[in-house]
Structure 1
């Protein structure tokens, strides 16, 4: 009986089950797998979906940073605003963060682009440790007001991009590669509007 357990097929089954268990119970392993799939060309954000053409009143939708400074979306008209809702315990959030960071690095000094990386848990200390460990300089915020469901329904990660007139130009739930060239071209188009 011991010969059957340690046969090639038995060892193969043990390895397969072990890999599945690691992916199910180790968030960083799941994030690493998702990052690999992103690099392979999967999880590209779809910027071709129709969005609302109406200028929305974003006043009163606010976020605060770790120092207590509050940013109101209504005050950001005239800028392209990239908002990413995430959490440190969320494997798809962790998987897309390198791409979000690459996009941020492209536009961090652009006067017409604002990034709000919103920790859905509001755990600034934990978020900052994550960012420091990964050497990301992303600006972390917490929710400081009610957020309409049209912007955030609670699914993590969720990314929303507003154009300069305050219109929602992109809304995506789930991990995506925001460093993808098509998404960068989409951002450039919004900046030039």
Structure 2
């Protein structure tokens, strides 16, 4: 009798995990798997989006400061984007609206993890006065992004860069989210994934809407 007979019980746990991850990677499912785990972490409330307290309830001075800035140049001035229908959109055309801009990619697990809560936020507050810009930085072309969005059933507006990326939108992390006031000023920046479908974020966006 061979005492060295192979048994699956003798396979080290790390080898099994490596094999599983390898299969997920080869099949392109690793991003989804990691994203699902991170989505569960978001559901625990472990990382809610940071909202500047001074802008949750703007006072008279804040409104005056915003009005004074209305004539200045908008963040991202000159930047061009293209939507998933191939239409070119000027970022400056969004001036006068509150802009929720999320920089993401299909290959980014944290991006995939937070997108469902951004979709819920969009369904609750998206309007003619609050614009969503889901800006994909994928290099695989528009069809790859369209396929991903269609598969997920997301309805928020998705764009890709059509000109040089503005310096003010550079970040050390992906995803990164910016909130821009109707006057064109960056008023909040969140690096890394977060839960945006919260009352604090909803109120934050609604309070900035131009009266």
* TM-score past 0.5 threshold: yes
Task: Write out aligned runs for 1:87-126 (5 A).
Answer: 87-108=105-126, 110-121=127-138, 123-126=141-144
Residue of structure 2 in register with 1:33 after alignment: 37
- Measured in 1, the distance between the counterparts of 2:204 and 2:191 equals 17
Q: 5+ unaligned residues in a row in structure 2: which ranges? A: 56-65
- Measured in 1, the distance between the counterparts of 2:193 and 2:201 equals 14
- Measured in 2, the distance between the counterparts of 1:147 and 1:49 equals 29
Q: Which structure is larger by alpha-carbon Rg, 1 or 2?
A: 2
Residue of structure 2 in register with 1:18 after alignment: 17
Q: Is the 8 A contact 1:80 1:163 kept in 2?
A: yes
Task: Write out aligned runs for 1:1-193 (5 A).
Answer: 14=13, 18=17, 22=21, 26-48=30-52, 55-58=72-75, 59-108=77-126, 110-121=127-138, 123-153=141-171, 155-191=173-209
Q: Is the 8 A contact 1:43 1:176 kept in 2?
A: yes
Alignment root-mean-square deviation, CA: 3.1
> Mean Cα displacement is larger for which, 133-142 or 13-22?
13-22
Q: Is the 8 A contact 1:151 1:171 kept in 2?
A: no
Shift of 1:6: 7.4
Deviations 1:117-164 (A, max 9, x none): 111025321122112212111221111122223212363211111011
Shift of 1:22: 3.4
**TM-score for the superposition, normalised by structure 2:** 0.75
- Measured in 2, the distance between the counterparts of 1:29 and 1:20 equals 14
Aligned residues between the structures? 187
**TM-score for the superposition, normalised by structure 1:** 0.81
Q: 5+ unaligned residues in a row in structure 1: which ranges? A: none
